[in-house]
Amino acid sequence: MNNIGLFVVLCLWVAYGQESCDRKEMEDTICSLCSQRKESQSGHQIAFFSYMSKNIPIKSITKHKTLVYDMVETNAGHGYDVNSGKFTAPESGLYVFHTTTTSYDRSHSSIEVVKNGKVKDVAWADSMSHDDRAVASTMTILNLTKGDIVQIRVGEAYAGNYLESNQYTRMSFSGFKLS
Ligand SMILES: *[C@@H]1O[C@H](CO)[C@@H](O)[C@H](O)[C@H]1NC(C)=O
């Protein structure tokens, strides 16, 4: 007899013996058993977190150049490729992606979150008119089909000194499968 069968029998027994089986408790138990089954069926997770090991001089970037986040802290499911900077969806589903970009001392750059070559989100770190930093972030929820590619690239606008990633701030690219 499986767990749910056992629980139903238990409920009936409780229902006869006492007044009724608590509906909420029964739902909680079934929900918990279902989620355990889901986890053990897929058996793995998809999540990555990568960041830049050093500052990016503006003179080293060009329009639409892919930003390659070279330090990989987490790469469950192996979707992120540290050589190309591209994330390839290991399976279909809803995904959440996040980026942070910092411009330093009279610098600016827009960045684009791109899926299969199409721009899905844009942010602009812009400290062009002043010294010190400007930080821009994105959080982008995308419905991906297995094999779809998501990457971060330089956008339309950039100039100045450099984008910053060091002991004070990190430029990062991360994501995970939501469902
Ligand atoms: C995601 O895309 C698939 C395939 O195009 C579609 O069947 C599904 O409804 C979409 N899901 C959401 C939440 O948009």
Averaged over 157-168, what is the pLDDT?
96
pLDDT digits (tens, 9 = 90+) for 36-85: 555 544 558 999 999 999 999 999 999 999 999 999 999 999 999 999 99
Cα–Cα distance, 135 to 102 (Å, whole number): 4
What atom in ligand 1 is closest to the CA of residue 94? 13
Scored b (16 or more CB within 10 A) or e, 133-154 reads: ebebebebebebeeeebbbbbb
Q: Which residues contact 88 (CB under 8 A, 6 or more apart)?
A: 79, 81, 147, 148, 149
Residue of minimum CA distance from atom 5 in ligand 1: 145
Residue of minimum CA distance from atom 12 in ligand 1: 143
The whole-number pLDDT of residue 22 equals 80
Residue of minimum CA distance from atom 6 in ligand 1: 143
Evaluate if pTM is beyond 0.75: yes
- Any ligand 1 atom below 6 A from CB of 92: no
The DSSP 8-state label assigned to residue 69 in this structure reads: -
Task: Give the strand pairing for 56-57 and 162-163.
Answer: antiparallel
Report how far ligand 1's centroid is from the alpha carbon of 80 (Å): 22
Task: Indicate if the pLDDT at residue 7 is higher than 80.
Answer: no
CB atoms within 10 A of CB 114: 20
Mean pLDDT of the chain: 88
- Any ligand 1 atom below 6 A from CB of 143: yes
Q: For residue 176, name the pLDDT band (cuts at 50, 70, 90).
A: very high
**Residue 23, SS3?**
helix
Averaged over 151-171, what is the pLDDT?
97
Report how far ligand 1's centroid is from the alpha carbon of 47 (Å): 20
Q: For residue 1, name the pLDDT band (cuts at 50, 70, 90).
A: very low
